[in-house]
Chains A and B, each alone.
Chain A
Amino acid sequence: MVTLDSKVPDGPVAEKWDNHKFSIKLVNPSNKRKFDIIVVGTGLAGSSAAASLAELGYNVKVFTYHDSPRRAHSIAAQGGINAAKNYRNDGDSVHRLFYDTVKGGDYRSREANVHRLAQVSVDIIDQCVAQGVPFAREYGGLLANRSFGGAQVSRTFYARGQTGQQLLLGAYQALASQIATGKVTLYNHSDVLDIVTKDGEACGIVTRDMLTGEVHSHSAHAVVLATGGYSNVYYLSTNAMACNVTAAWRAHRKGALFANPCFSQIHPTCIPASDEFQSKLTLMSESLRNDGRIWVPRDRDETRSADQIPEDDRYYYLEEKYPSFGNLVPRDVASRNAKTVVDEGRGVGPLKNGVYLDFAAAIARDGAEAVKERYGNLFDMYERITGEDPYSTPMRIYPAIHYTMGGLWVDYNLMTTVPGLYAIGEANFSDHGANRLGASALMQGLADGYFVLPYTIGDHLAPKLGNTPVPTTDAVFTEAVQAVDDRTRQWTTKKGGTHGVEYYHRELGKIVWEYIGMARNEAGLQKALSEIPALREEFRKNVKVLGSPDGINSMLEKVNRVDDFMEFAELKARDALQREESCGGHFREESQTPEGEALRDDENFAYVSAWEWKGPDQPQELHKEPLEFENVKLTQRSYK
């Protein structure tokens, strides 16, 4: 029987973290070298955690499926990272960042975690600057800031349009220095295909060496999953091609509860799809909304080019509907409104599947040079992809799946329901509720990796002093290795097959986008729940995987991942079905205000849904962690 103990400390929210840090057990510095920790993933969360844990003295093994840790998908984040520094004198504070994040998450996050995130945000900037992250500076030499959607203060720090890249390089460089000292052992080209437990506790992992095909096991006193999100269940998303749910899903099958899988963020400013061959959607930084005005023609049958359409014939729908936030409304609101106008037939572009993001006013006001200074690389990227020049013609944008707020359920210490198994960054569910504000993903990844996990993991390890890790010769490991090997080989020994893996992934994506996308309803979700298992069965029977399991085989890597996405998608639909309310990135059409805004039901749904695996052919069991809001009053979100 699983019980959800969030371990949120007592006391006022602003004191919880400091009190907790003092009360949790410590591992004496000279004893830290007696503990081995496995970190899976080398994005912002994984790299920062692995480097910080090694600096403390722990022996760290870090795993990535890339050739180098620096390629993790955090590298692609563009816009920035939030911190409550109040360098702009505009009224920012830890409390305000906390408040904005709880409200922005539509009251479906845990207050204590969010407050801690806001608190340590300040330290993150200091740490990154000390490492040499080249944040943008003013002429006076001080750090520059900008504002982001969902906030009315300028608290976002940025490094051109490549903030994620620079923060990841900072964390990767810290990791590289620890690799050089030998405190960290790096395993690259390693696909983590199972989590191993003994007597209910996590004791290691099973990996497939993606160069040789060999299956290995690794043991440790604790396992940390920093494996990112599940956006690629949609096939078309802004995530890198290799992002997947496998390690988290395998942990779920080993007893870790999966929380809020129906929460996925849709990013409002992506380049619309141009044809069906498209493999992914490219995101344009949300910071563009600071200076770009969003509009569509009022007339559905408009045929003039954008520059020929006079002001009166343009529908600046966000500015009209939300006068105080305008183009800077949070992502869910911006996305849904874009869908509405496109669905009404007002879309722009050859496929009428986008809205305009227009910089004409900014260029007229500040000059093209100033705009180029701010967004030059994004404009270049747009031009390359579409063949259109955004300095002279408005960009076309449309929402796309971008970030996932659901993930493995974790307590305040970031530990899953499997003792010794941690989930950090996007892989856990804890900080963003039903919607994530801009520039806060980088913040959470680094907060967890630099400043939360290194403290909280000690609480689990301290009592284990003197215990040696379960040897990899133990039956739990040999059996897990055998199971992984069997599962991997079954695909390649199967003969025949009708379609490659991409085909099935694309088909799955269509179902998930159609029924669990920007808007959901009961009939659609029921349909998804019948179509997904049918597709999965067809996939398992008929997928064609060529080549050998020994050595590099990109089809084999992908087939395991899509297999897990198939199971995951079903849980996602089930979670969306039971949440009969709208909140943030989950819009149930049955639950909306008369103006068409998301309508929450706090009476019945102010909880985290956490699902327990019950076996391959059984539906998962729902557990609920009630959410209490003592500091941020539950109110209907309004950005008008």
Chain B
Amino acid sequence: MSKMLNLKLKIWRQDGPHSQGAFLEVDANDIPEDASFLEMLDVVNERLIDDDVEPITFGHDCREGICGSCGVMINGQAHGPEKATATCQLHMRKFNDGDEIVVEPWKAEAFPVLKDLMVDRRAFDRIIEAGGYISAPTGTPQDANATLIPKEVADTAMDAAACIGCGACVAACPNSAAQLFTSAKLAHLNVLPQGQSERWKRTENMVETMEDFFGSCTNHGECHDACPKEISLDFIAFMNRDYVKAKVKNRSLAAQ
């Protein structure tokens, strides 16, 4: 059997978007070190229910580090202390017996708290709707091998597309900027040959939609450090370059 841990938790509780929140202090005793962070919360919740206290609400679903539903600030770090790991894949063996752990929701104006640790990240969807796609209506497109895509390009697109949209980048940023998310989505499509026709319009629309919701990037790099998929800061540089180009190109087209 695995080792058991006794922990002290300070968890943010908030009834709804307009309620006042406060920390709840709760003991989490006899937690197996093989449990994930969310399984630890499950155990705490079951004990709260036994005591007729409403369980703590948190976002979660796949628990495999891919759906991007989960994510909380753990001791001030997005997704906790382990690098390149979503909260659901963080295991209690990374903590020590007797630790005090502070658990809070993502903090950003664009991500209002819905309840307890759960926030509203729908602003990300607005960015995608602004152009985060290649217009290829369902039909009979050309053969998939008709366009050669160098392996390096496909790999780069995949590196960018690996983003799970969890919002840790925004939560970790002192400005609540969404540059890492937006640039990853842009780079995925902008490096591919299929993405070229809409490249400049896509860039302009997505960047400007992002700015409607989120803060500005001042190159802290906290986003990258918090990202469970280690999305590269290079994509932000790529986005900035494409945005300048887009401004020039879109303007010159408009003048024609």
Contacts and interface: CB of A to CB of B under 8 A. Distances in A.
Contacts of A450: 138
A513 B34 CA distance: 23
B89 A279 contact: no
A279 B49 CA distance: 17
Interface string A145-168: 000000000000001101001100
Contact of A141 (B38, B143, B149): B149
A625 interface: no
Contacts of B151: 137-139, 141
B39 A278 contact: yes
A126 B140 contact: yes
A129 B153 CA distance: 14
Contacts of B154: 134-137
Contacts, number: 222
Contact of B91 (A140, A384, A551): A384
A387 B82 CA distance: 13
B130 to A, nearest CB: 7
Given A52-B138, A127-B136, A134-B192, 7 more contacts: A67-B120, A128-B144, A131-B133, A141-B150, A166-B161, A186-B125, A279-B39
A551 B16 contact: yes
28 contacts: A52-B137, A68-B121, A69-B125, A73-B67, A75-B68, A129-B194, A130-B194, A132-B133, A132-B134, A132-B188, A134-B161, A137-B153, A140-B148, A141-B148, A143-B145, A162-B66, A162-B158, A162-B162, A166-B161, A173-B132, A177-B135, A180-B130, A241-B63, A277-B32, A451-B138, A546-B49, A546-B55, A554-B55
Given A131-B134, A141-B150, A142-B145, A282 B129 contact: no
A628 interface: no
Nearest to B158: A134
B256 interface: no
A560 interface: no
B195 interface: yes
Nearest to A157: B144
Q: Is the interface of B mostly helix, strand, loop or mixed?
A: loop
Contacts of B135: 177
Contacts of A278: 35, 39
Nearest to A124: B144
Interface string A519-563: 000000000000000000000000010110001101100000000
B62 A76 contact: yes
B38, B46, B61, B195 pick with most chain A CB within 10 angstroms = B61
Contacts of B29: none
A179 interface: yes
A57 to B, nearest CB: 11
B105 interface: no
Interface in B117-172: 118, 120-122, 124-125, 128-130, 132-145, 147-151, 153-155, 157-158, 161-162, 164-165
